């Protein structure tokens, strides 16, 4: 049920609206989440700590956000702090919903808002399924890549079923260690079925069990055990994936569009394929200190065994480019060169395969050519318009170019199948921030920071500052400074002290900004700055638009589009970039003007001011 009557107000949790006495209030997702929990526990006292932890899960500023949310809800519900006829404050405890609550209409479909927030249950599409990573039951517990590999092959196969709703790899794998049962997982991912299983490797025997579980009642709808030889992994993976896909399609009465891709189509070498599976798995973990170096070694060995292995070259390139964002390394020049080289190999071997296009996006970012970036994204999308990946990369370049509404349309499609994607949520947060929706905009960046993307940490701090929460921003910077220190050292050298950073970033002191900007420019001119998004975001934070444009030209980053998207916000620092005398020439140099000529001009940009 998605609609309720609370007192004399009508609540639509899908549309996030409250209607009362002819007026309609549209509220932010987190604010509606507060009301969701109060409705679900109507008449009970819900503590402030419970609400903050369930909805925000932040280290700082939770109490202030909750107080603001309660105030907004009371206004929309016609309540007040003095009257408290709907939401009653329980001193030193929390809140209680005391008004009468009545469900008034069924939901008409799933909600695709913030996937991390609690929500009133909305039935999932009947043909929807998530495939969890298969458990590694090997004695040593060191073959997780085999379980991950078979799950990924099944996901790819299920995606070929016309009419099926298949949760993507990122979101399905995100719940691996969450300790949730099937019902909780299905609700988190918005699916009617969950596919789970296990892999056991003993001597020369490989055993896979797979079962399809109904979220409605927790019962198995289908199960099967497979036995094969690790020496013939191609045939074994084909057998498992094909049978699972066929069984699900038959159960749902749907049609498979094309056969499941065979490992034999990827490489002719079984050992190279196993190296690829392990290397791909390590790349997905994105740990710059541990798993990415391991991925590079494994994938390098795979392409040595089979130099025609296009996907191995593609993931090798991705791993090298990821090292620039996920790790501070003195070997960054090597990773940049090897990433480019591997990208060229992958594209030469398989120019029409979607995965080989991904490293070409990174190459385009480091070349700072958004016209090529957009052309590549559009070509890929035209080939696979139903793929979440193609929607995502087109959204990335559109938002970077300031075309927020068009980009958000594609992101909505991404989050339908990847509701837990940190990259997707961060991009949504950036786009909505530029459109004026600032509440909790830093949270996806904090989650990305926790995964090891250092520039996301400084972005989160800046978003808090822009929202006026300087105390929370300073507390966050103090608490996570040791993690951010390598980023600051890369940009400013020994001069980047905690004191200067706080004065410049949090308090906006011009003298501190000048010192840091001068140091960064000297290091940039000497070629000492490792390319990453932090090198592009920091000049905007320091209110140095010329330094930002020069950094784009001379440093660049794998995640350049995400950094460029920050200049479209309605903030003073972002406007300094857009209104700078050199911005029209800069926009022309990096291909923005060509994109705008083809796709339309961003709000607030006058074509007459730009070099055409």
Region of poorest pLDDT, from 409-413, 457-461, 596-600: 409-413
User: Tens digit of pLDDT for each residue in 130-142?
Assistant: 999 998 887 776 7
The mean pLDDT of 54-63, rounded to a whole number, is 66
Computed over every residue of the chain, the mean pLDDT equals 85
User: Tens digit of pLDDT for each residue in 172-213?
Assistant: 988 887 777 777 788 888 899 999 999 988 777 888 999 999
User: Tens digit of pLDDT for each residue in 77-129?
Assistant: 888 666 788 999 888 788 999 998 887 754 333 333 444 444 444 567 888 99
Confidence of residue 288 (pLDDT cuts 50, 70, 90): low
Distance (Å, rounded) from C-alpha 516 to C-alpha 492?
6
User: Residue 519, Cα to own-chain centre: how many angstroms?
Assistant: 32
Collect contacts of 547-552 with beta carbons under 8 A, ≥24 apart: 547/517, 547/520, 547/521, 548/577, 549/577, 549/580, 549/582, 549/583, 549/586, 550/521, 550/524, 551/520, 551/524, 552/368, 552/586, 552/590
**Maximum average pLDDT range among 347-361, 456-470, 533-547:** 533-547
pLDDT at 13: 77
Confidence of residue 54 (pLDDT cuts 50, 70, 90): confident
| Contact between residue 229 and residue 204 where contact means Cβ atoms under 8 Å apart | yes
* Nearest one of 507, 516, 466, 463 to 488, comparing CA atoms: 516
Considering the entire predicted model, what is its pTM? Answer: 0.75
Confidence of residue 259 (pLDDT cuts 50, 70, 90): low
pLDDT at 265: 67
Rounded to 5°, angle at Cα 329 from 308 and 505: 125
Q: Residue 577 burial (CB < 10 Å; 0-12/13-18/19+)?
A: buried
User: Tens digit of pLDDT for each residue in 563-588?
Assistant: 899 899 888 999 999 999 999 999 99
pLDDT at 232: 75
* Nearest one of 70, 66, 43 to 55, comparing CA atoms: 66
Q: Per the structure block, which two tokens stand in for 254?
A: 């749907």
Distance (Å, rounded) from C-alpha 54 to C-alpha 312?
40
pLDDT at 523: 96
Distance (Å, rounded) from C-alpha 460 to C-alpha 444?
8
User: Tens digit of pLDDT for each residue in 495-536?
Assistant: 778 899 999 999 999 999 999 999 999 999 999 999 999 999
Q: Per the structure block, which two tokens stand in for 563?
A: 């950094």
* Between residues 256 and 506, the one the model is more confident about: 506
Q: Is 567 helix (H, G, I), strand (E, B) or coil?
A: helix
Q: Per the structure block, which two tokens stand in for 443?
A: 């949270």
Is a pLDDT exceeding 90 seen at residue 36?
no
């Amino acid at each position: 049920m998605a609609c309720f009557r609370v007192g004399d107000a009508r609540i639509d949790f899908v549309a996030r609206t409250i209607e009362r006495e002819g007026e309609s209030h549209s509220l932010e997702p987190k604010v509606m989440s507060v009301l969701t929990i109060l409705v679900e526990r109507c008449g009970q006292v819900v503590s402030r700590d419970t609400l903050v932890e369930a909805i925000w899960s932040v280290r700082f500023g939770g109490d202030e956000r909750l107080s603001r949310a309660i105030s907004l809800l009371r206004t929309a519900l016609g309540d007040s702090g003095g009257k408290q006829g709907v939401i009653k404050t329980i001193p030193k405890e929390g809140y209680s919903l005391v008004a009468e609550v009545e469900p008034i209409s069924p939901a008409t479909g799933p909600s695709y808002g913030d996937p991390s927030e609690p929500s009133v249950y909305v039935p999932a599409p009947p043909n929807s399924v998530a495939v969890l990573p298969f458990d590694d039951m090997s004695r040593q517990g060191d073959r997780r890549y085999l379980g991950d590999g078979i799950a990924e092959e099944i996901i790819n196969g299920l995606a070929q079923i016309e009419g099926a709703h298949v949760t993507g790899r990122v979101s399905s794998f995100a719940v691996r260690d969450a300790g949730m049962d099937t019902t909780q997982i299905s609700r988190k991912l918005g699916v009617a079925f969950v596919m789970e299983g296990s892999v056991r490797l003993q001597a020369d025997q490989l055993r896979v069990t797979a079962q399809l579980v109904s979220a409605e009642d927790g019962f198995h709808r289908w199960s099967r055990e497979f036995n094969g030889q690790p020496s013939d992994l191609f045939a074994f993976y084909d057998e498992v994936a094909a049978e699972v896909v066929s069984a699900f399609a038959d159960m749902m009465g749907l049609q498979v569009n094309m056969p499941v891709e065979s490992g034999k189509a990827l490489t002719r070498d079984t050992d190279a394929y196993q190296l690829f599976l392990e290397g791909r798995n390590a790349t997905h973990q994105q740990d710059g200190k541990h798993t990415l170096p391991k991925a590079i070694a494994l994938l390098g060995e795979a392409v040595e065994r089979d130099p025609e292995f296009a996907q191995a070259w593609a993931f090798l390139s991705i791993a090298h480019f990821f090292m620039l964002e996920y790790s501070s390394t003195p070997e960054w020049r090597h990773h940049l060169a090897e990433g480019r080289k591997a990208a060229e190999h992958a594209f030469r071997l398989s120019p029409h395969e979607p995965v080989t296009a991904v490293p070409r996006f990174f190459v385009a970012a480091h070349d700072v050519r958004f016209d090529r970036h957009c052309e590549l994204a559009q070509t890929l999308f035209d080939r696979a318009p139903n793929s979440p990946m193609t929607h995502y990369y087109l959204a990335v370049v559109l938002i970077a170019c300031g075309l927020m509404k068009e980009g958000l349309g594609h992101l909505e499609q991404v989050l339908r199948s990847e509701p837990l994607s940190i990259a997707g949520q961060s991009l949504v947060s950036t786009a909505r921030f530029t459109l004026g929706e600032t509440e909790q905009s830093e949270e996806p960046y904090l989650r990305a920071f926790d995964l090891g993307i250092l520039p996301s940490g400084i972005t989160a701090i800046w978003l808090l500052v822009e929202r006026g929460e300087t105390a929370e921003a300073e507390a966050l910077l103090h608490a996570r400074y040791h993690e951010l220190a390598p980023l600051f050292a890369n940009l400013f050298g020994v001069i980047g002290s905690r004191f200067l950073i706080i004065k410049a970033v949090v308090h906006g002191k011009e003298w501190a900004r000048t010192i840091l900007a001068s140091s960064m420019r000297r290091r940039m001119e000497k070629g000492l700055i490792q390319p990453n998004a932090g090198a592009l975001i920091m000049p905007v934070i320091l209110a140095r638009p010329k330094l930002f444009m020069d950094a784009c030209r001379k440093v660049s980053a794998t995640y350049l589009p995400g950094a460029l998207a920050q200049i479209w916000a309605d903030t003073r620092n972002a406007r300094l970039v857009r209104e700078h005398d050199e911005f029209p020439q800069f926009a022309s140099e990096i291909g923005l003007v060509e994109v705008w000529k083809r796709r339309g001009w961003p709000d607030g940009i006058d074509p007459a001011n730009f070099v055409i």
